[in-house]
Amino acid sequence: MEKVRILLAEDHKVVREGTRRLLESQADFEVVGEASDGIEAVELAKKLRPAIIIMDVSMPRLNGIEATKQVKAIYPNTAILVLTGYDDDEYVFALLEAGAAGYLLKESSGDELIDAIRQVMTGEPVLHPRIMKKVLNRLRSPVEEQTVQKAGDVLSDREMEVLRLAAKGMSNMEIADSLTLSVRTVQTHLRSIFNKLGVGSRSEAIVYGLKKGWLTLEELP
């Protein structure tokens, strides 16, 4: 069984140790490294190439938002799940723009963190659709004429169908039922979408689609 390689980026040692014990209780999770600040997180991401990074926001030397930007610039397919004590819109907005796949509050339960990691790794959303809509409403900006790119030039018709349904907040199972496909086929389409757009999660793909004008805010829940 191939394990999910996880890097922890958290400046509080007690929180890191507790999170590591929690994650390593799962047979398919492997914590490959721990970073105590943002610069170390970026360095270890380069060295260890984890599949997912659990990233705090407030850290010494380099905060989680800037660390996320740097990691995503080098490894766009690395998923970053932010685990933070902050829940205001400004942080959520900054994290999505930086390329995070989603976020959880530190008040979340261990089971919620484990579920969130599994969701991110299968392309499922972690952000609540209403929160996403509020944030994306601020993120969306007019597309300049010279940067307009048709969805059909990048994604297949089926992939656009999957992306639109994902934007509505549907799970992989719901998308599969709607399009009369298997869940595995939906996952394959999502991975293809991520690869073509150079992103690592549904959240990023939806942001990309909105920026390009392929999706509208009215299509979101």
The answer to whether residues 150 and 94 belong to one domain is no
Of 121, 154, 185, the last residue of a domain is 121
Considering the domain boundaries, does residue 69 fall inside one? yes
Residue 128 belongs to some domain of the structure:
no
Half-sphere exposure for 169 (CA within 13 Å, toward CB): 12
Asked if 32 and 98 sit in the same domain, the reply is yes
CATH number at residue 194: 3.40.50.2300
Q: Is residue 210 included in any domain, yes or no? A: yes
- pLDDT at position 14 is 93
Q: Is the pLDDT assigned to residue 129 strictly greater than 60?
A: no
Q: How open is the CA angle 192-196-202, to the nearest 5 degrees?
A: 65
| Co-location of 75 and 157 in the same domain | no
For the chain, the domain total comes to 2
Beta-carbon contacts of 12 under 8 Å, excluding residues fewer than 6 positions away, are 56
Q: Which amino acid is at 190?
A: L
Please check whether residues 105 and 142 belong to one and the same domain: no
Residue 88 lies in a domain: yes
Final residue belonging to a domain, choices 86, 121, 156? 121
Residue 196 to residues 76, 205, 208, Cα–Cα distance (Å) = 11, 10, 11
Residues 10 and 73 in one domain: yes
81-121 pLDDT per residue, tens: 989 887 777 777 788 778 888 878 888 888 889 988 988 88
Note whether residue 132 is domain-resident: no
Residues 99 and 198 in one domain: no
Same domain, 143 and 70: no
Say if residue 85 is in the same domain as residue 192. Answer: no
CA distance 153 to 148: 11
What pLDDT was estimated at residue 27? 93
Residue 87 lies in a domain: yes
Does some domain include residue 129?
Answer: no
167 shares a domain with 70 = no
- C-alpha pair distances (Å), 81 with each of 89, 145, 149, 175, 190: 16, 34, 29, 23, 18
Q: Which domain holds residue 81?
A: 4-121
Residues 16 and 44 in one domain: yes
DSSP 200: S
pLDDT classification of 146: cutoffs 50, 70, 90 = very low
Among the ranges 3-7, 98-102, 199-203, which has the highest mean pLDDT value? Answer: 3-7
